[in-house]
Amino acid sequence: MGFGVARSSGRDGRPVYRQIAERIRDDIASGRLAEGDQLPTIRALAQELRVNRDTVALAYEELAAAGLVEATVGRGSFVRSRGAAAPAPAWEAPLAPAVLQVLDLERARPRYGFAEDAVPLHSLLPDPALYPVAGFRRALARVMADQGAELLRYGVPQGHPGLREELAARLRAAGVEVEADELALTQGASEGIQLALRLFGATGDAVAVEEPTYHHVLTALTALGLRPVPIPLGEEGADLSALERALARPDVKLFYTMPTFHNPMGTSTSLAHRRALLELAARARKPVIEDAYEMDLRYTGKPLPSLAALDRTGGVSQLLSFSKSLFPGLRVGAILARGRARDGVIALKQTTDLGGAFVLQAALAEFLRRGDYDRHLARVRRVLLGRRDALLEALAREMPQGTHWTTPEGGLQLWVELPGGIDTAELLPEAGRAGVLFAPGFQFRHDGRVSSGMRLSIALADEAAIRRGVAALAKVVRERLARGGRSSREQSVNV
């Protein structure tokens, strides 16, 4: 069985799994695959095409749903006989075009179905070993004993007043002039992103975003019918000349940015860059969304005032989250918005979730008030600093010449750029088999084009595992360079 697959959604424009399914469909229709013929195993076809096994599995699932193939446990997948009874067609309501686009984006993202003992340098999920379970359980017990059933009712859209007061006090200590009434609690920073985009953008509008950027922002834009306008990201931060040109466009309604511990880069911008950015946005009269989701995770260097602290126009809305600094199951974040923006956020919250889980918000307020959160942060920062240093030392020792990486002062991630034009999406399956996982760079680009970059995380792996993972990664990179590292994803190959 031989067919060409353009292993990219770049030039071809379609997800790889759909290309595979359509080629098999064509082979069945033309007779090149006859009734009863066995398809290659998922593992074999994935190895031949140099794609993830999950990609081939998705293609086979699509063919089975169309009644073209049938899978038999222990035997494999076969072309269905035309005389065989096809599965009863199930009626499904058509999905909205934006939802279909989101599904394609999600299916194109990496699937980490590798060995369970692979070193997890791909995920920003905080290490469960660091969760302050006992302390938070005590805080939860105290608020339930004090307030009981009151906490189990619907809350107000803005969220628990006590937690908003605690957050406002912490922000004021960081130089942000804010009152509790200017904060609305969210389901992590993820809901904050959705609220901010809905607040300032409508279907068909455009949003300026750094390139690369947080991949879930790109998904959120697609789901809301918004278009990303990429702003190149250099060593100093977003290219301000490019940003100025973008914000001058009437269709560009806002700018989304992560000036501190950028995801995926791990970098932070200078004070001068922050001030220049705010001046530029003020002249254009365009709002800025500052994602400060890792602001509490600084473990070295001198803190800089956030955009929200420097803002004097009310044009900055800041997103906060406890998902990375505490634990994600809490699902508590916040959005700082002033004036009409604040009123808009509250209205959107009312129509979205009626205010979130009051009991968890109250427990978090208690956790903050008693100093438990700050004690937790002190421990986490020490651990993360040790892991970051282990990662930097391992990269310097193991990686081949020509590899470059960033040096974060906080947060959970850094960026690595490989030499030789290596496509990190193609490298991932090899790395997974070698025992290390990473986040390939294409998913942080608005068009998913080939990238020689990758995001490495210190969230889950301890220092020993980090060293082991980087050694495995370096070996795979050297082997790829020896074979010729240049990407072949945008070329068609015959298999």
pLDDT tens-place string over residues 25-69: 888 888 888 888 888 888 788 878 877 676 787 788 888 878 888
Phi (first) and psi of residue 453, to 5 degrees: -100, 165
Please report the pLDDT score of residue 350 as a whole number: 87
Helix/strand/coil for 99: helix
As given in the structure block, the two tokens for residue 372 are 């438990």
Please report the pLDDT score of residue 85 as a whole number: 52
User: What is the Cα–Cα distance from 396 to 398, expressed in whole angstroms?
Assistant: 6
What structural domains and CATH numbers belong to the chain? 4-93 (1.10.10.10), 103-123+375-494 (3.90.1150.10), 133-370 (3.40.640.10)
Specify whether the CB–CB gap between 223 and 102 falls below 8 A: yes
Place of tokens 């969220």: 159
Please report the pLDDT score of residue 87 as a whole number: 54
Please report the pLDDT score of residue 81 as a whole number: 74
pLDDT < 50: residue spans in the chain: 1, 4, 6-11, 490-495
pTM score, whole prediction: 0.82
User: What is the Cα–Cα distance from 331 to 318, expressed in whole angstroms?
Assistant: 17
Q: Give the closest residue to 414 by CA, choosing from 460, 453, 449, 442.
A: 453
Please report the pLDDT score of residue 39 as a whole number: 87
Q: Give the closest residue to 279 by CA, choosing from 253, 243, 317, 250.
A: 243
Specify whether the CB–CB gap between 324 and 290 falls below 8 A: no
Q: Which DSSP letter does residue 40 get?
A: P
Please report the pLDDT score of residue 207 as a whole number: 98
Phi (first) and psi of residue 280, to 5 degrees: -65, -50
pLDDT digits (tens, 9 = 90+) for 229-247: 999 999 899 999 999 999 9
